[in-house]
Homo-oligomer: A and B are copies of this chain.
Amino acid sequence: MFDETQNKIINATMNLIMERGYSSTTTKDIAISAGINECTIFRKFKGKKEIVLSAMELSEWNPELKESDFGYIGELERDLISFSEVYMKRVTPKMVKVSIGLRTPELYSDTANGILEVPLTFKKILVNYFSEMRDKIEGTDYENMAMMFLSMNFGFVFLKASFESHLTEIEKEDYIENSVKIFVRGIEKK
């Protein structure tokens, strides 16, 4: 899909964007970081913007979630743990940093849709799941439950991405286990 030089450029670009954001990332920095000459960038890509757009075609730099990634067996706790795990496998601190780094007017129209799609897909799956499990669940506001579950997963990843261990030492795995337990206890019928 891309040759070795192009991959070096894409990786250098995205790593710099994660750290400093799109507009603070210069083509000179990219060249140095990729270990190539600046003009090579423009022989391989039309411009700075096209590097990012090319990166989006790679699953490594695109948080894309598919509905088919989520499977379940009908047991609340196990299913929700699995949902969290699948979500966090794609929506990593790295992805969060990338999507923040890309928040710039020059790229907005090209990236906004893809960024919205991730929480939207996850929410849809959750609403659908809760609705199917209605016999085991107290209450019927599935939209609200889905937003709560999404928020508590996304919020954790974001906070981890922003502050790492300065905020908390808790690891993803422990967090998922504990928070899902509380959540399930909070929604299940007695």
Contact = CB atoms under 8 A, between A and B. Distances in A.
Interface residues of A, number: 48
Copies in the complex: 2
A159 B120 CA distance: 11
A156 interface: yes
Contacts of A187: 182, 185-186
Given A23-B21, A175-B148, A120 B167 contact: yes
Contacts of A162: 115-116
A152 B141 CA distance: 16
Contact of A152 (B100, B104, B148): B148
Interface of A: 19-21, 23-24, 100, 103-106, 115-116, 119-120, 123, 138, 141, 143-145, 147-148, 150-156, 158-159, 162-163, 166-168, 170, 174-175, 178-179, 181-187
